[in-house]
Amino acid sequence: MGRPSKSDLTRAEERFALARIALELIEQGGLEALTARAVAERAGMSVGAVYKAFGDLEALRLEANAITMRDMRRVLEASLDRSAGAPATERLLALADAYAGFARLRRKAWTAMLAPRVSDTPPEMAGEIAALFGLIGGVLTETGRVPEVEIPIAVKALWASVHGMVHLGETNGLGPISPDDVPRMTRLLVTAALRGLVGEPPP
């Protein structure tokens, strides 16, 4: 009971393989390189088969994004492992630096995650988002000084703020903010945020 049938497993494997191909296309040519025909040609199947596995191209892109998020989560987890035992400020800064580094190294895949969507967040992607937020929440919980009720909104505020700075640094979307500015900006933000949340002095 509860074990997937062979046919179900095959469908899951096929979807994952197609999502991997979609991610390869994005990494090589950006989001504009992702088309059903390009995926079908690389997979050796018909365009109709791609749409049978995924109802539309957005669903395929979102599953590819979930793979990118999983890759990013592993990078962030490794940064936390390396900063074990450090003050909360330094652990959060390690996460921020890892996020900025991932955005720079995997820029096309990272940019694809930012594309607007009209459909609901698929379970795979929602799970990865929750796991990423959980890394920040875990650091705040470790302090023992942030009220549990405040942690979810604090996590969102920190994530959104760091992401915004990284995005501006990578795209130069508003004003003279370069990638070199981001570490100093995140240090200022995180230090101030932790001081306000837990009274932690600056490092």
pLDDT tens per residue across span 15-29: 999 999 999 999 999
How far apart (Å, rounded) are the C-alpha atoms in residues 200 and 87?
9
The single residue listed with the structure tokens 């470790």 is: 142
Residue 1 lies in a domain: no
Give the model's pLDDT for residue 180.
Answer: 85
Q: What is the span of the domain harbouring residue 40? A: 6-198
Residue 80 lies in a domain: yes
User: Token pair of 16, please?
Assistant: 């994952």
Residue 136: partners with Cβ closer than 8 Å, 6 or more residues away: 92, 95, 155, 158, 159
Residue 113 lies in a domain: yes
The single residue listed with the structure tokens 């990578």 is: 170
Residue 106 lies in a domain: yes
User: Is it the case that residue 1 has pLDDT exceeding 70?
Assistant: no
Residue 13: partners with Cβ closer than 8 Å, 6 or more residues away: none
Residue 203 lies in a domain: no
Exposure of 30 in the CB half-sphere (CA atoms within 13 A) = 2
CATH of the domain at 80: 1.10.357.10
Residue 191 lies in a domain: yes
Residue 122 lies in a domain: yes
The single residue listed with the structure tokens 């096929």 is: 14
Task: Say how many domains are in the chain.
Answer: 1
Query: Smallest Cα–Cα separation from 110: which of 101, 122, 118, 119?
Result: 101
On whether the CB atoms of residues 63 and 165 are closer than 8 A, the answer is: no
What confidence tens digit (pLDDT) does each residue in 180-203 have? 888 899 999 999 988 888 765 545
On whether the CB atoms of residues 50 and 60 are closer than 8 A, the answer is: yes
The whole-model pTM stands at 0.87
Query: Smallest Cα–Cα separation from 62: which of 4, 14, 105, 19?
Result: 19
User: Token pair of 122, please?
Assistant: 């698929």
